[in-house]
Structure 1
Amino acid sequence: MAKYDYDLFVIGAGSGGVRAARLAAMSGARVAVAEEHRVGGTCVIRGCVPKKFMVYASEFSHHFKTAKSYGWSIEGAKFDWAYFLEEKDKEIARLSGIYVRNLQNAGAELAHGKARLTDAHTIEIDKAGTKTADKILIATGGRPWMPKNLPGAEFAISSNEAFHLTELPKRIVIAGGGYIAVEFAGIFNGLGVDVTLVHRGPNVLRGFDDDVRSHLTEEMEKRGVKVMLGAQHAAIDKTAGGLTSRFSDGHEVESDVVMFCLGREPYVEGLGLEAAGVKLTDKGAVAVDEYSKTNVANIWAVGDVTDRINLTPVAIREGQAFAETVFYDRPMAFDHETVASAVFSQPPIGSVGLSEADARKQCGKVDIYLARLKPMKYAFGGDERSLLKLVVDCATEKVVGCHVVGPDAPEMIQMAAIAIKMGVTKTQWDATCAVHPTLAEELVTMREKYVPLGLGQVA
């Protein structure tokens, strides 16, 4: 008789947990997964996927303007928020169902309910009783961080609620400067909402290249987003006309909705990690080693709950590496270096490798290649500009950073990431023949080093 009910118990059915559970079950292991919400996790249910649908919906208003410059006559176009929500929810339900079927087809059991550890091998699941497992994987992801002591904070929503607003607001204040904030600023602006983006820092997208940050802010403002920097909420007042946001710099803005996008935190509350002896980092994430193993010999963790790189593909690769290591005897640690990312702002961003500032710290002397140009798509109208930037380590001639802001930037960066991950040099990069006419060709035709104004460049 088996000592435990399962060989592996996974807490959390998001992208990382599902990948790990499926691979482990396919090895012949007895696997169960517990999920307290819907199967699919943040990405499928309340993150990347529905947000991308919202981006697509919101981009049409910009496309209509561009279409007119090409001779199209578009009259009477209007957006139906209720219809969009219905279609979006249908697709999310379909995708969630696929996740469920994939788990079942692999032979894994699924329990609906919140799971908590009572010791290192025992799991208590709401409405499903108590189970034991030889090995346990924590994959509960993260959740939006909301301020707790701000007067009127209870009137604000997070990104979770933004996907289910019963009505499209006329005015919205979005607090935050990260990728979720700028993405939703573009979404609501494109859908015709009056958008104010307020951020306490000197510019949006902390951690990205400074030229990318300033360029995106300019482009968002061109499209009508009002950006307030160096300010943050002091209070939110509910009024007869909606909500009044009072800011630290003395300004006040009235809106129908206030949305906080102030970062996310690992979801560890109520998991019983203390009872199992699992240690957390200073920031409240599950502490793990390079193989995603915690300080407890039979417990691992992957994805956003570990707060390493909080991206869905990273969670999937961490989950796969865990299964390969533990159930296939093929030790594998995911390499978190040089991971590409996309921001579905408007215009979008693709970025991989080091920013200019980080490269100067790590490499010393660097060469910069930078181009700002109007995309061919807007040749007949509009003043949108794209930015392309390469960062090159002078000592090795390797391209250590590539940053693009403009149409299809996320699609471009995937291919650039392969070359940079392999250690491509600028000479090899330049030897690649351009694909014409495309925005991407500018990446392999930049030959002159960029010198900032004041250091020899002529304006």
Structure 2
Amino acid sequence: MSERRTGKEKSWRLCRKKPQTLDDDSGEDEPRNGNENVTLELKAKLPKTADKSSTYDLVVIGGGSGGLAAAKEAVELGAKVAVLDFVTPSPQGTKWGLGGTCVNVGCIPKKLMHQAALLGEAVHEAVAYGWQLPDPNTVQNDWSALTNAVQSHVKSVNWVTRVELRNKKVEYLNALGYFKDANTVVGVGKNGEEKLLSAKNIIIAVGGRPRYPDIPGALEYGITSDDIFSLDRAPGKTLIVGAGYIGLECAGFLNGLGYDTTILVRSVVLRGFDQQMANIVAEEMEQRGVHFVYQAKPKAIEKQDDGRLLVHWVDRDGALHQDAYDTVLFAIGRRALTQELKPENVGLKLIPDTGKIDALNEQTNIPNIYAVGDVLHKKPELTPVAIHAGRLLARRLFGGSHEKMDYTNVATTVFSPLEYGCVGLSEEDAIALHGDDNIEVYHAYYKPTEFFVPQKNVKHCYVKVVALRKDDQKVIGMHFVGPHAGEVIQGFAAAIKCNLTFRALKSTVGIHPTTAEEFTRISITKRSGLDPTPQSCCS
């Protein structure tokens, strides 16, 4: 299979070949692909940048989803664009290629690990459906094979991303960028060589990196989500510090892969999400064997003579506890990488403590400097948000567009073992904004058809719709815990963007038997006090 390209662009083709290794920061020219038989091979080498200074219409600092989306869109609109991207190794030495957090140490490897855990669960379910298999209790996951497969896919995406930038004529520099002035960015390469890039417009898209607690042993012995997807050994007994979505997702797939997993919860699970739904997710995970230690904070980590990590923590009463683990993973939040930009050189204002940028329509306090993605203050830290905002910003800068990013009613999903998808307001936020008397909460438990034969527990399968009580009852929040939550909530997110009402939702005919149809069947309000548990699959 081949594709011909004209002009100075060389052809590339898919060929049968042993996979190659590519370190995106190394300058090597061969990609690595997870398929042993099919590997993307480039005949042309990527161009090297020789000049010490250049002028552009747009310089993007950060090669993640938002920055790349803005850069590619700007080029399509005729702009001359450069992208700087540099990955500083984690404290454990982990680094990765072009593409940002999502591709390398976020959404993509996380979803693959989640899928691996679900497949292990499916092995046990298959027996109930008549599949003749070896004793499912003897089935084990090979951590090395899993991480190799995941990293092969990630590396192939890194490579394709570089090729796409070259083909679109976006100049890519593997360099750490910082501001010299409002129109000049300094790019520092891995060899220390500097290059000046002048630009009419600059976009900050540097994202963030995981935080570490200020306790003895954290940096020396702990890991984060930067490290777990390429960990060179099986994690074994694991302690996860932090109960946000990253902590829960990592705990979920580690437990599903067969590793003893504990979550240390400082305050509440899934802060910022609907707390009823968050507690349902936590209860379901506990049922699966994930251990939760509530109201606790780590104090120190020591490495024992046997190589294991002795963790000391304190509970809400001040009592000290300790236990030994093979791996300690911190998931206590992320810090924006804005201080590395030398913001003082341009007077860029940052939010104290977080280092984030409070921008209006992505424009910072410096008129020609913009920001997209996770560096923005009080905006959803989600890849699709960064991508969409980056594209719209480029269209406004170079295409004459006036369309602005709408950060409201953005759907998201927590890929816990039983997934949680939501869009709009939580019940708590709806009450705070509109008052308890002005909202109606519809809810229901349900029984997924695919759970019947293997007799899986349906106790935690639950849906909730938050609506205003007046007029046609405009829907302002939808929440779903169950299989394929991300796929379910996506369509309803579009409906909410179109001002969905509860009347319209109830007039929608569901697809049977699916879990998504449960939203169309919901009828019981919390206010009524009636039992929301169904008596049959069709009730």
Q: What is the TM-score of this pair, normalised by structure 1?
A: 0.95
Distance 1:355 1:458, change over 3 A: closer
Question: What corresponds to 2:305 in structure 1?
Answer: 240
- Contact 1:196–1:227, Cα closer than 8 Å, also in 2: yes
Whether 1:391 aligns to 2:466 is yes
What displacement does 1:238 show?
A: 1.7
- The 2-side partners of 1:324 and 1:273 are apart by 26
Partner residue of 1:204 out of 248, 263, 269: 269
- Contact 1:199–1:232, Cα closer than 8 Å, also in 2: yes
- The 2-side partners of 1:41 and 1:224 are apart by 33
Q: CA RMSD in A?
A: 1.8
Partner residue of 1:14 out of 64, 67, 86: 64
Distance 1:18 1:458, change over 3 A: closer
- The 2-side partners of 1:61 and 1:83 are apart by 14
- The 2-side partners of 1:233 and 1:387 are apart by 33
Distance 1:456 1:191, change over 3 A: closer
What displacement does 1:287 show?
A: 2.6
- The 2-side partners of 1:326 and 1:142 are apart by 25
Structure 1: segments with no counterpart, 5+ residues:
none
Question: What corresponds to 1:259 in structure 2?
Answer: 329
- Contact 1:60–1:190, Cα closer than 8 Å, also in 2: no
- Contact 1:278–1:286, Cα closer than 8 Å, also in 2: no
Within 5 Å, give how 1:115-134 maps onto structure 2. Answer: 115-126=177-188, 127-134=193-200
Q: What do residues 232-282 of structure 1 show as CA deviations (whole Å, max 9, x unaligned)?
A: 112222213411222212332221000000011111132122102211123
Paired letter, 1:393: L
- Contact 1:68–1:74, Cα closer than 8 Å, also in 2: yes
Distance 1:427 1:96, change over 3 A: same
Question: What corresponds to 1:29 in structure 2?
Answer: 79
Within 5 Å, give how 1:291-306 maps onto structure 2. Answer: 291-306=361-376
- The 1-side partners of 2:333 and 2:358 are apart by 21
- The 2-side partners of 1:418 and 1:45 are apart by 28
- The 2-side partners of 1:237 and 1:272 are apart by 35
- Contact 1:369–1:391, Cα closer than 8 Å, also in 2: yes
- Contact 2:202–2:368, Cα closer than 8 Å, also in 1: yes
- Contact 2:373–2:386, Cα closer than 8 Å, also in 1: yes
- Structure number with higher relative contact order (C-alpha < 8 Å, ≥ 6 residues apart): 1
Question: What corresponds to 2:536 in structure 1?
Answer: none
Question: What corresponds to 2:402 in structure 1?
Answer: 331
- Contact 2:359–2:376, Cα closer than 8 Å, also in 1: no
What displacement does 1:457 show?
A: 6.0
Q: State the secondary structure of the residue aligned to 1:5.
A: strand
Q: State the secondary structure of the residue aligned to 2:339.
A: coil
The percentage of aligned residue pairs carrying the same residue is: 37
- The 2-side partners of 1:374 and 1:232 are apart by 37
Question: What corresponds to 1:371 in structure 2?
Answer: 444
Question: What corresponds to 1:437 in structure 2?
Answer: 513
Q: What do residues 214-239 of structure 1 show as CA deviations (whole Å, max 9, x unaligned)?
A: 11111101111011111111222221
Question: What corresponds to 1:410 in structure 2?
Answer: 486
What displacement does 1:305 show?
A: 1.4
- Contact 2:446–2:518, Cα closer than 8 Å, also in 1: no
Whether 1:191 aligns to 2:257 is yes
Whether 1:60 aligns to 2:110 is no
Partner residue of 2:204 out of 116, 125, 138: 138
Question: What corresponds to 2:155 in structure 1?
Answer: 93
Distance 1:239 1:295, change over 3 A: same
Structure 2: segments with no counterpart, 5+ residues:
1-52, 88-96, 534-539
- The 2-side partners of 1:194 and 1:81 are apart by 14
Q: State the secondary structure of the residue aligned to 1:253.
A: strand
Q: What do residues 147-175 of structure 1 show as CA deviations (whole Å, max 9, x unaligned)?
A: 12x12212111110111211112200001
Question: What corresponds to 1:424 in structure 2?
Answer: 500
What displacement does 1:102 show?
A: 2.1
Q: What do residues 115-140 of structure 1 show as CA deviations (whole Å, max 9, x unaligned)?
A: 11111111111135222111111110
Q: What is the TM-score of this pair, normalised by structure 2?
A: 0.81
Whether 1:220 aligns to 2:270 is no
- Contact 2:444–2:532, Cα closer than 8 Å, also in 1: no
Question: What corresponds to 1:360 in structure 2?
Answer: 431
- The 2-side partners of 1:393 and 1:287 are apart by 33
Distance 1:125 1:376, change over 3 A: same
- Contact 1:288–1:301, Cα closer than 8 Å, also in 2: no
Question: What corresponds to 1:175 in structure 2?
Answer: 241
Question: What corresponds to 1:312 in structure 2?
Answer: 383
